[in-house]
Structure 1
Amino acid sequence: MYVPPGWPQEVRPPDSPDWETSASAWLLDAVPPDYRAYAVLRRHPVALARMAAHHVRASIQAAREGYRGAAVDLKDHLPPHAVEAVLKAYRSEGPRLVRLAQAIDLVERALRGERFAERIRPDSHRRPM
């Protein structure tokens, strides 16, 4: 079965056996552990996906704000090499969170019934000259 680029490896393809179970487990790993306490989220994966999307978007915003202020906020409390290490962590974490948000979006769309089809690029049929 086709899954689009960015589909999480831990989640089975839609319509395969236990795919929603694998999606729920993966989504629960993407949110704070306290989310596991809510039966409604375990019972309704679409609701879990929606909450996970909001959580990760908020984390992206927090990482952006943290990055913008880290040098000023920490310069009097950390040595320069430590401040640079914090900035490096933000530069790594930001893209990871964006990829996670994109993967959550794909899983949520599949949970809502969307099916993905491989698209053939128009230039892939050109013959070499």
Structure 2
Amino acid sequence: MALTYSPISSDWPCQVKNPDSYDWERSAAKWLRELVPARYASYPALIRHPVLLARHAQIQVEHEVRVARTALRTARAELPALGLSESVIEHTIKMYAAEVAQLQYIARSIRAVSQALADGAAARSH
């Protein structure tokens, strides 16, 4: 069963054109390049194959989620030793929690774009 994608979907990034649109893969690649460290965005294989870029972006964001979760989980125990006030610690905990939520949303968006890219590549190879 083929999946359909819509920019109206809560997981589809607004920066990426609808897969039915002209040149949508270019908008997907541009968005994905913004999610990876700049040195990766310039590798020829990732430039030529957006599906590889999507894979790398997914791995990158999954690691960022783990880092943010670790920072959140350890903040209350470790930050007081750095001499930070309770209000700074509370603000930092809220910041990490918001970052985890944002990164999870980005990960879902990457999965949606990645699937659309893979579906497009499979359709072209038949």
Shared fold, TM over 0.5: yes
Match of 2:87 in 1: 81
Match of 1:93 in 2: 99
Structure 1: give runs of 5+ residues left out of the alignment: 115-129
Out of 29, 35, 52, the residue aligned to residue 40 of structure 2 is 35
Between the two structures, name the one with larger relative contact order (CA 8 Å, sep ≥ 6). 1
Match of 1:105 in 2: 111
Give 1:93 deviation, angstroms: 0.4
1:70 counterpart letter in structure 2? A
Give 1:15 deviation, angstroms: 3.0
- Give the Cα separation in 1 of the matches to 2:11 and 2:41: 25
* TM-score, normalised relative to structure 2: 0.85
Q: Secondary structure at the match of 1:113?
A: helix
* TM-score, normalised relative to structure 1: 0.83
Bigger share in helix: 2
Match of 2:16 in 1: 11
- Percent of pairs identical after alignment? 39
| CA RMSD after TM alignment | 1.5
